[in-house]
A and B are shown apart, each in its own frame.
Chain A
Amino acid sequence: MLSFPPTLDRLIKLLGRLPGVGRKSATRIALRLIQSTEAECRELARTIVEAREKTGRCSICGGYTEDDPCPICADERRDASLVCVVERPSDVLALERTGRYGGRYHVLDGLLSPLDGIGPDELRIDSLVERAGEENLREVILALNPTAEGEATSLYLAKTLRPMGVRISRLASGLPVGGELDLADELTLGTALEERRDLSA
């Protein structure tokens, strides 16, 4: 059986471990890489290492950033009384892509899931409660995935934040049940954001 030279074969295997990259795509990418210039390959390799080193988490919102606080939390023009709660840092990017949100964010780092041993203490909930008290928030928008875990977490947060007198809303349904926020298209997500429902009552 015809096989690739050992080093090329190793590259294909490494690329194939990346999310969404199957054996075929990995082979295509690898063949393309070995045909590019040495400078191009060095830059790619260096950037991967640099991105890993320099990308950290914002101490306020928990989003990915190189500076602390992140450009979103530091931006004076954004509405500081509005906070959108999301599950993961990548959800911030999905909501930013809609171009229809001018507030700030708060990343929970997961969802309540007793089966996985994830309770309120494992999530960034205390820091959200602190922010609600200290930052004089007007509204908290819960933008969690419409799964059982996402919805139960929303109920928990609504119950926890309610006594603080802050308005609580959640994204309008329209996102597919069991769907993922970062896979929703910008229009759907933008509409869900604008037609959010009040949960304060």
Chain B
Amino acid sequence: MWLRELRLTSFRNYRSLAIGFENGLNFLYGPNGSGKTSVLEAISYLAVARSLRSASDAEVARWGDAGFGVGGDVIESDGGARTIVLRYRRGAGKEVSLDGEPLARLSDLVGHLRVAWFCPEDTWITKGGPDARRRLVDMTLCQIDAGYLAALSCYRRALRQRNEALLNWTPDEESDRVVEAWSGKVADYGGRVIAGRAAMIPRLAEKVSRFHAEISGGDTLTLAYRSSVPLGDAGRSPGEAATGEEEAIEPGEARERFARALGDGLEDEKRRGFTLVGPHRDDLEVKLDGRLLRTFGSQGQHRTAAIALKLGEAAVLDADGRGVVVLLDDVLSELDNERGAALVSHMGRHGQAFVTSTARAARELAPGAGEGEGVACYHVNEGEVVRE
């Protein structure tokens, strides 16, 4: 799939914009704050109905305007065209339509346009806390599995409710029953989330290891799902090879194990007033040649690992061959030319890519980067995008 045209109204600093793209590499260059990232952000709205910069919808609407609109024409791999339109109005929320038909739920949008987003902060994904790694896992799963997306948003809601119930807990039967009811729902949704992660991570690990070996010239990068819920046989012991089958766990089984862990920690949770175990505390463990990368890696090793992770993410998103739109936001400035070129050339294999940079010279990283077919260069400045 690829995005043929993007239309914006009152979006960030764009009052009104309509722009066509190439099914290949699209370079956007211009000074900082000119609106390059906003174009990528708009594309993320068409994919997942929200900002991948984790901005609120209200922030995205142009200052003083009542809302914003994003529209796009997506060309499917079979040549069919679909038009996605997302509208946001302050106070009224978002609505999405597909080919003019309103969608009942925002989650119904999932899968029509898939994106893999890579920004400068991601180059530290293997160094920092588990949040960024969980976000990578979730963004990947949400785009290929609408059921996972529904379970994850219900899980977050139920978890906040349970934490509030724990905070208000008093030693009486009624209070116990309220906490117990929320534990039941947290375990239901959480079991589905755990099972989804356990099934996807081995697939991601396999692809990431392959890309990493290719870029680094032989170092072995391994990934493993580290759930805060004891999954028993489902969790792999250190040093054991990932085969995929071993780590799979049924949602029902994951639910039982999670419910048991919630029960075991309940007394402690009542004292502390929040939930101590669950998918919100999971991690994606990254090891280089058997050692925990987070604790010893050099800047170069972290960057290579980050690139391999992002390439793996794009490959998982594109596993069914329908394509994925790659959004590389100002990452080339963070990478040396060799890593940057490897990233752009690998990402380019999935079809369409958008690359932003402050320097026009970044375009030279594209293989055979002439003015030929499939490569387009855009100058972005002050809410205007001009194709060269």
Contacts and interface: CB of A to CB of B under 8 A. Distances in A.
Interface of A: 112-115, 119-120, 147-149, 151-153, 155-156, 159-160, 176-178
A159 B161 contact: no
Given A113-B161, A114-B165, A156 B104 contact: no
Given A114-B165, A120-B174, A153 B181 contact: yes
Given A148-B189, A155-B180, A155-B185, A115 B150 contact: no
Nearest to B153: A178
Most chain A beta carbons < 10 A, residue from B104, B105, B178: B178
Nearest to A160: B177
B164 interface: yes
B161 A149 contact: yes
A167 B99 CA distance: 47
B181 A114 contact: no
A159 to B, nearest CB: 5
Interface residues of B, number: 23
B184 interface: yes
Secondary structure of the B contact surface, majority rule: helix
A112 B164 CA distance: 11
B181 A152 contact: yes
Interface in B152-179: 154, 157-158, 160-162, 164-165, 167-168, 174, 177-178
Secondary structure of the A contact surface, majority rule: helix
11 contacts: A114-B161, A115-B160, A119-B168, A120-B177, A120-B178, A148-B189, A149-B161, A153-B181, A160-B177, A176-B104, A177-B154
B247 to A, nearest CB: 27
B196 to A, nearest CB: 15
* Smallest CB-CB A-B distances: 4 pairs: A114-B164, A156-B181, A155-B181, A114-B165
Given A114-B161, A119-B178, A159-B180, A177 B150 contact: yes
B150 A114 contact: no
Contacts of A113: 161
A114 B178 contact: yes
Interface in B109-162: 150, 154, 157-158, 160-162
Interface of B: 104-105, 150, 154, 157-158, 160-162, 164-165, 167-168, 174, 177-178, 180-182, 184-185, 188-189
Contacts of A148: 154, 157-158, 161, 185, 189
A115 B161 contact: yes
B185 A156 contact: no
Nearest to B167: A114
Nearest to A119: B178
A26 to B, nearest CB: 15
Nearest to B156: A148
B66 to A, nearest CB: 12
Nearest to A157: B181
A152 B150 CA distance: 16
Nearest to B169: A114
Nearest to B180: A159
Contacts of A120: 174, 177-178
A99 B189 CA distance: 33
B157 A159 contact: no
Given A151-B185, A152-B181, A152-B184, A114 B158 contact: no
Nearest to B165: A114
B153 to A, nearest CB: 8
A176 to B, nearest CB: 7
B177 A152 contact: no
B166 to A, nearest CB: 9
A147 B160 CA distance: 14
Given A114-B168, A115-B161, A178-B150, 20 more contacts: A112-B178, A114-B178, A119-B174, A120-B174, A120-B177, A120-B178, A147-B154, A148-B157, A148-B161, A151-B188, A152-B181, A152-B184, A152-B185, A155-B184, A155-B185, A156-B177, A156-B178, A160-B177, A176-B104, A177-B154
B58 to A, nearest CB: 20
A193 to B, nearest CB: 22
A152 B164 CA distance: 14
Contacts of B150: 177-178
A148 B163 CA distance: 14
A197 B180 CA distance: 21
A148 to B, nearest CB: 4
Contacts of A147: 154
A120 B188 CA distance: 22
A151 B182 CA distance: 9
A114 B166 CA distance: 9
A148 B190 CA distance: 12
Given A114-B168, A114-B178, A152 B104 contact: no
Contacts of A153: 181
B146 to A, nearest CB: 10
Nearest to B160: A115
Contact of A112 (B154, B167, B181): B181
A152 B161 contact: yes
Nearest to A156: B181
